[in-house]
Chain A
Amino acid sequence: MKYGILVNEGPYQHQASDTAYQFAQALLDKGHELFRVFFYHDGVNNGTRFAVPPQDDRNITARWSEMAEKHGVDLVICIAAAQRRGLLDEGEAKRQGKDGNNIAPGFRISGLGQLIEAGIQSDRLVVFGD
C-alpha cells in the first residue's frame, strides 16, 4: 500500500513525531511504499539540523535524515510554516537576506500543494498531531 504521512507537532515536546517515525519505519519494514512525509505547523521543527539533543536521547532529526537516505523517503517541510518558525534552506536564506540556513539533510522546503498531492497519490494519508 502507498502511504503519506503528515506530522503536525515538533520534536521532543510531543510524541507525535516519534510515533510518526515509528509508523513510517514499520510500514517500510513491511514492504509498503512511503510516498512522502509532510511537516506542518510546529512539525517543521523536525527538520532543523541545529538541534543538539543530549547524547543519551534519540536524535529525532537525524533519525528522519537517515530514513530519507536509506529508503529515499521524501521529507517535505511546508514553506509558509517554516518561514514563521525560522526554518530556512540555502535558497530561502538568500532570498530573505538571512545569514544562515538550518535544514537537515534529506529534508526539502516546498509548498502546501505537496501535502494535497500526497493525499491524492497515497492510498492512506495518516495524520500525526495533537
Chain B
Amino acid sequence: MSEPWEEEGPGTIKKFMYVNRKAPYGTIYALESLEVVLIAAAFEQDVSMAFLDDGVYQLKKGQDTQGIGMKNFSPTYRALEGYDVEKLYVEAESLAERGLSEDDLLVPVEVMGREALAELMDEQDVILSF
C-alpha cells in the first residue's frame, strides 16, 4: 500500500493501457498510437499495450508496404523494449479469428483470453483506445 502523501501530485504513477484495435495501414490510428506510447514512456508511468481485433495485424512479422507507398513502421514495435514498454498483451481470440498464432508476431507478447484481458483493463487507471 502506498502512503497517503504518495497518492497525489506529480509523482503519481498510474496504470496506462494503450488499446490498439485497427490494422496498421488503411488508417493512421496505429502509427499515431505508437507515437503516443513513445512520448508516454518519458513520463515514467506504468505502461502496457493491448492488441485486439484487427490491431493484432500491427505486430505481424514480414510487413511489406512498398506496394502502398507507405512507411513500414513495424520495426518500431521492436524498439519499445528500449523505452521500457515491455507489457504487450494480445487477445487470443483475435489472433485465432485471423488464423494467426504467437509465432507470426515480431515481438514477444503475452497472449491472453478475452475475459482475462477484460479483467486487466478493469485494473487500469487510464485506457487510451485507438
Contact = CB atoms under 8 A, between A and B. Distances in A.
A120 B35 contact: no
Interface in B70-89: none
A23 to B, nearest CB: 16
A80 interface: yes
B42 interface: yes
Interface residues of A, number: 19
Interface of A: 6, 8, 40-41, 80-81, 84, 111-113, 115-117, 119-120, 125, 127, 129-130
Provide the main secondary structure of the chain B interface: mixed
A84 B28 CA distance: 11
Given A116-B16, A130-B29, 17 more contacts: A8-B130, A40-B32, A41-B130, A81-B32, A111-B39, A112-B35, A115-B36, A115-B128, A116-B43, A117-B43, A119-B16, A119-B125, A120-B10, A120-B14, A127-B127, A129-B129, A129-B130
B36 A112 contact: yes
B39 to A, nearest CB: 4
Q: Which 10 A-B pairs have the closest CB atoms?
A: A119-B126, A112-B39, A116-B43, A116-B40, A125-B126, A127-B129, A112-B36, A41-B32, A120-B12, A120-B14
